[in-house]
């Protein structure tokens, strides 16, 4: 068990937790509930805030991994790490994909079969990616994939947070009185813009993560 926050803990867990706590405390009065969470204070208050944000971030990560990621992969047609190795996909050149398959066969001594349904090939391709990832991680070739993965987790979690804030924002805007309409619209706008940006950044960082693993695998294990 580690005794300090990892990069992933800080970026992908703590930051979304803080954002969600700030948003809920700032707009809680719209539903008749007052949540006073001080974002400034001494060591004791800061420690409590960090602990609360970390727990909140873990809960949001659980939702983002269990629900949000499944929705995203449906929209994307699967993880890019598996989709890009399909014969019919044009992201990578034919020579680039053949190089990956050759190195995987040589390093892990496994036979690669390109037959089967799309789902079966996607599953096999994802297994190839995990092999490449573990090889790159074991060899400590670069810290860049870990940064991309942490940022992907961050934006996926932020996307979940903003979507959760969108639902009450819409309901409050519809049912609110005129004096609360402006603040409800601000919550809705903040959540909508945040969700759009988070979606595209999550997509980009997920693709950067997959591409960096394959690039490092080829560079690190080619003769």
pTM: 0.84
State yes or no: pLDDT of 99 exceeds 90.
yes
- Average pLDDT (115-124) is 88
CA distances (Å), origin 66, targets 11, 72, 130, 183, 201: 19, 11, 19, 31, 19
Mean residue pLDDT across the chain = 85
Environment class of 186 (CB within 10 Å of its CB; exposed 0-12, middle 13-18, buried 19+): middle
* Of the listed ranges 87-91, 109-113, 162-166, 215-219, the one predicted with least confidence: 109-113
Write out the two tokens for 32.
């008749």
Confidence at 170, pLDDT banded by 50, 70, 90? confident
- Cβ(206)–Cβ(79) under 8 Å? yes
* Phi and psi based region of residue 173 (left: phi greater than 0; alpha: psi -120 to 50; beta: remaining): alpha
Query: 43 falls in which pLDDT band (50, 70, 90)?
Result: low
Nearest partner of 53 among 39, 69, 67, 63, judged by Cα: 39
Average pLDDT value for residue range 32-52: 69
- Whether 206 shows a pLDDT value over 80: the answer reads yes
- Residue 106: count of CB within 10 angstroms of its CB: 12
């Amino acid at each position: 068990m580690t005794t300090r926050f990892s990069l992933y803990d800080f970026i992908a867990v703590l930051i979304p937790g803080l954002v969600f706590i700030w948003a809920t405390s700032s707009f809680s009065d719209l539903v008749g509930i007052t949540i006073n969470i001080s974002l400034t204070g001494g060591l004791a208050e800061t420690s409590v805030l960090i602990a609360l944000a970390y727990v909140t971030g873990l809960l949001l990560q659980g939702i983002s991994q269990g629900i949000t990621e499944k929705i995203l992969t449906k929209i994307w047609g699967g993880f890019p790490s598996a989709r890009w190795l399909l014969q019919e996909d044009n992201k990578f050149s034919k020579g680039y994909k053949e190089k990956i398959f050759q190195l995987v066969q040589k390093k892990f001594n496994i036979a690669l079969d390109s037959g089967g349904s799309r789902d079966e090939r996607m599953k096999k391709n994802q297994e190839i990616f995990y092999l490449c990832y573990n090889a790159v991680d074991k060899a400590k070739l670069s810290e860049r994939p870990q940064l991309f993965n942490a940022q992907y987790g961050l934006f996926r979690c932020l996307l979940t947070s903003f979507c959760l804030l969108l639902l009450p924002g819409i309901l409050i805007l519809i049912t609110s009185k005129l004096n609360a309409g402006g603040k409800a619209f601000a919550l809705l706008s903040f959540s909508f813009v945040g969700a759009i940006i988070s979606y595209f950044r999550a997509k980009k960082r997920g693709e950067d993560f997959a591409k960096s693993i394959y690039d490092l695998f080829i560079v690190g294990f080619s003769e």
